[in-house]
Amino acid sequence: MPCWFLVTIISTALWSVQRTTAYPQEAQDTTSADTQFSLYNVNTDGDPPNHELWLLNRDSGEKQKVLAYSRHVTVGWAPAGHAFFITNYDGSDSATCMVGIVARTINITDVSRLLGSRTRGRLMRAKPGDHLYCEIVRWISKSEILLRVHGYNEHQRKISEQYRYDIRTEVCQRVNGRGADL
């Protein structure tokens, strides 16, 4: 196999690796692929939530608060830079996920509400002591994300399901019962 072919494969694979950023610890900001927007963290004083996630339009300088949160979040930009996801680890026993589409204003969608009725029921019936996490794994195309719902209850009954969510149609479909990765 020619050396240039192997280098092309490796560089293509590395280019397609998606970066997620954790706040408040990891970085000051993360920039969209088209470099027009940045998400950044601001720590605030006082009672929780004491962190804020902000969006900066790098062309106009306009800033908009996206989310106030207490613990930590992970964010990731869509490959085209027009959207981002947020997983909000809002408690030691829960995590929620949302998608933001950047246009003239930010349109934030709580993806948790779009899950299948069985899983949505479990999300809404979570009792104290239950651990239930909805996390966005990664972008799988320009407009689709892969998310995972997992957790357990006081009887150690486990939940593990994966979904694909299309930000254009707002359709959320279960991938497979065992959560095979896409």
Per-residue pLDDT tens digits for 6-42: 332 332 333 344 678 887 875 678 899 899 999 999 9
Share of the chain above pLDDT 70, in %: 75
CA 50, 26, 71, 111 torsion-angle sign: positive
Give the count of alpha carbons within 13 A of 174, CB side only: 13
pLDDT at 180 over 70: no
Per 3-state DSSP, the chain is made up of helix, strand and coil in percentages (nearest 5) of: 15, 50, 35
| 7 assigned to some structural domain | no
Q: Mean pLDDT over all residues of the chain? A: 78
pLDDT at 177 over 90: no
3 CB neighbour count, 10 Å cutoff: 7
Give the count of alpha carbons within 13 A of 162, CB side only: 16
**Single-letter amino acid, residue 69:** Y
Q: Cα(7)–Cα(122) distance, rounded to whole angstroms?
A: 47
Predicted local confidence at residue 155, as pLDDT: 72
CB 86 within 8 A of CB 66: yes
Predicted local confidence at residue 21, as pLDDT: 85
Angle at 41 between CA 48 and CA 29, to 5 degrees: 165
pLDDT in tens, 29-84: 889 989 999 999 998 888 888 899 999 999 999 999 999 999 999 999 999 888 99
| 5 assigned to some structural domain | no
Q: Cα(95)–Cα(89) distance, rounded to whole angstroms?
A: 4
pLDDT in tens, 122-135: 665 667 777 888 88
| 9 assigned to some structural domain | no
Edge-to-edge, what's the strand order for the sheet holding 37-43? 29-31, 37-43, 51-57, 63-69
- The two structure tokens encoding residue 62: 């306009």
Q: How many domains does the chain have?
A: 1
| 4 assigned to some structural domain | no
Predicted local confidence at residue 6, as pLDDT: 31
Domain coverage including residue 139: 20-176
Q: Is the overall model pTM greater than 0.95, yes or no? A: no
Predicted local confidence at residue 174, as pLDDT: 85
| 84 assigned to some structural domain | yes
| 1 assigned to some structural domain | no
| 144 assigned to some structural domain | yes
Predicted local confidence at residue 13, as pLDDT: 33
